């Protein structure tokens, strides 16, 4: 690596275009939003920057705080679900024979390439009253009912008079599943990368010393791969916080998340300063999560991601 003074021409030539883009088309807009968050509306379009904290105070109103908390809670729950299902999948791929490995990875990636909006929309057909899940459950209900009739308990209607479809859509459950479905591959990839890099002879050593498979996982595999889990958690949790289209498509009237509120401020409600304040609070939450991760990861030096 050279000191920048060694070749200033190359240094600046390489540097200027991307830096320019980053500053003008990213840093400046963000700064603008930050400034706007201290503004007040004056009429339909004009905004005056009065350096007021009113927007932030309003954002910390119990109404919005509750939505904030609900968003964190939902995103957290969905992230946990991704983690619990993701670990076995990452394991399976990491320990698959080579030709299967590529195939499984590909199979995992293909949904990831498909537009996140479309995947969310596809869930509607699965969860609605007359959708996949309910059709399957109804079919099972009919089979079970048939079995009961066959053994003579038909008249007792043990399973009810008819199949009652589950309300799986337009509620918090659907939103949760939506987040899990949308971001699941993001969880598996860093987990997989970490498990793949693990020295398998460490697992063999653990088995050799008498430990069973679960003990080996708990004592050897997890302590050395949880950095991957941490990465996965960050990659799922943060976007999940801001994915307003998921509650929009799949949620009910009480399933609003912070992303929906922000979107409304900038579109229909036209209250940009307030929206800006909310956006920045969301960003602070993001940075908080990242700082937490850096802290936790830094405290326990192990293998890097």
CB of 29 to other proteins, least distance (A): 4
Of 172 and 189, which has the nearer Cβ to other proteins?
A: 189
CB 187 within 8 A of CB 82: yes
Write each residue from 212 to 251 as x if it is in contact with other proteins (CB under 8 A), else as -, in one continuous string: xx-x---xx--xx------x--xx--xx-xxxxx--xx--
Nearest CA-CA partner of 104 in 185, 179, 217, 199 = 185
In the complex, what is the shortest distance from the CB of residue 11 to other proteins, in angstroms, rounded to a whole number?
6
Site for other proteins in 273-302 (CB under 8 A): 275-276, 279-280, 282-283, 286, 290, 300, 302
| Non-local CB neighbours of 210 within 8 Å, separated by 6+ positions | none
Q: Considering only residues 43, 208, 214, 304, which one is a binding residue for other proteins as defined by CB under 8 A?
A: 208
Closer to other proteins at the Cβ: 148 or 173? Answer: 173
**30 near 286, Cβ under 8 Å?**
no
Ranges within 134-193 binding other proteins (CB under 8 A): 181, 184-186, 189-190, 193
E strand or H helix that includes residue 132: helix 132-150
Secondary structure element (H or E) that encloses residue 46, with its range: strand 46-49
d(CA 134, CA 243): 26
Interface with other proteins (CB under 8 A), residue total: 112
- Could you say which residues in the range 66-125 bind other proteins, by CB under 8 A? 85, 88-89, 91-93, 95-97, 100, 104-119, 121-125
How far is the C-alpha of 148 from the C-alpha of 251, rounded, in Å?
A: 37
Residue 15 interacts with other proteins (CB under 8 A): yes or no: yes
């Amino acid at each position: 690596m050279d000191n920048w003074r060694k070749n200033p021409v190359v240094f600046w030539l390489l540097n200027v275009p991307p830096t320019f883009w980053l500053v003008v088309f990213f840093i400046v807009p963000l700064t603008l939003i930050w400034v706007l968050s201290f503004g007040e509306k004056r009429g339909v379009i004009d905004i005056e920057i009065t350096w007021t904290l009113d927007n932030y105070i309003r954002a910390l109103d119990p109404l919005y705080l509750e939505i904030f908390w609900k968003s964190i809670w939902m995103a957290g729950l969905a992230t946990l679900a991704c983690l619990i299902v993701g670990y076995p999948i990452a394991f399976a791929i990491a320990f698959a024979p080579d030709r299967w490995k590529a195939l499984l990875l590909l199979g995992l990636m293909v949904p990831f390439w498909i537009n996140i909006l479309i995947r969310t929309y596809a869930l509607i057909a699965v969860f609605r009253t007359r959708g996949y899940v309910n059709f399957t459950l109804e079919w099972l209900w009919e089979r079970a009912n048939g079995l009961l009739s066959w053994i003579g308990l038909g008249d007792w209607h043990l399973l009810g008079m008819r199949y009652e479809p589950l309300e799986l859509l337009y509620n918090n459950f659907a939103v949760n599943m939506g987040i899990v479905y949308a971001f699941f591959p993001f969880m598996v990839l860093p987990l997989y990368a970490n498990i793949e890099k693990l020295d398998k002879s460490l697992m063999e050593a653990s088995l050799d010393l008498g430990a069973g498979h679960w003990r080996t996982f708990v004592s050897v595999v997890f302590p050395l791969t949880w950095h991957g889990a941490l990465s996965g958690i960050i990659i799922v949790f943060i976007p999940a916080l801001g994915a307003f289209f998921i509650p929009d498509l799949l949620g009910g009237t009480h399933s609003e998340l912070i992303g929906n509120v922000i979107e409304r401020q900038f579109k229909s409600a036209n209250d940009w300063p307030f929206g800006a304040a909310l956006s920045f609070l969301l960003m602070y939450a993001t940075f908080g999560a990242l700082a937490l991760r850096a802290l936790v990861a830094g405290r326990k030096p192990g293998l890097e991601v």
